[in-house]
Homo-oligomer: A and B are copies of this chain.
Amino acid sequence: MNDIRDPGAPESPTESPEVEAVGVMSPAFVAQVVGAVGDGDKPFLWRTAKELHPADLADLLEHLPPEAFRKAIHLLGKDLPAEAVAELSDTARLEALHELTDAAVTAMIGHLDSDDASFLLSDLEEDRRARILTKVSATDRAAIESSLAFDEESAGRLMQRAFVAAPVFWTVGQAIDHMRSVAEDDLPETFFEIYIVDPAFRLQGSVPVSRLLRHGREKPLSEIMKETPVHVRPEMDQEEVAYIFRQYNLASAPVVDAAGRLTGMITIDDVVDVIQEEAEEDILALSGVNEAGVNQSVFSAVKARMPWLLLNLVTAFLGSLVVSLFAPVIEQVVALAFLMPVVAGLGGNAGSQSLAVAVRAIAERDLEGQLARRAVRREALTALVNGALIAGVAALIVLLWFQDYRLSLLILVAMAATFMWAGLVGILAPLTLKRLGQDPAVASSVFVLTTIDLMGFFVFLGLASATLL
Contact = CB atoms under 8 A, between A and B. Distances in A.
Contacts of A139: none
A414 to B, nearest CB: 13
Across the A-B interface, give the 6 residue pairs with the lowest CB-CB distance, nearest first.
Answer: A279-B279, A287-B356, A5-B249, A249-B269, A337-B337, A294-B361
A46 interface: no
Contacts of A344: 341
A340 B323 CA distance: 10
B210 A191 contact: yes
A312 interface: yes
Interface string A426-468: 0000000000000000000000000001000100000000000
Nearest to A361: B294
Interface string A307-326: 01110110011011101100
Nearest to A441: B283
Contacts of A247: 22-23, 55-56
Interface stretch (A24-32, A100-108, A124-132): A24-32
A191 B260 CA distance: 27
B287 A345 contact: no
- A contact residues, range: 35 or more
Contact of A272 (B23, B246, B336, B457): B246
A48 interface: no
A319 B89 CA distance: 40
Interface string A225-251: 011111100000000100111111111
Nearest to A12: B227
Interface in A157-198: 176, 179-180, 184, 187-192
Given A6-B208, A298-B385, A382-B298, A338 B313 contact: no
Interface in A318-367: 319-321, 323-324, 327, 330-331, 334-342, 344-346, 349-350, 352-353, 355-357, 359-361, 364-367
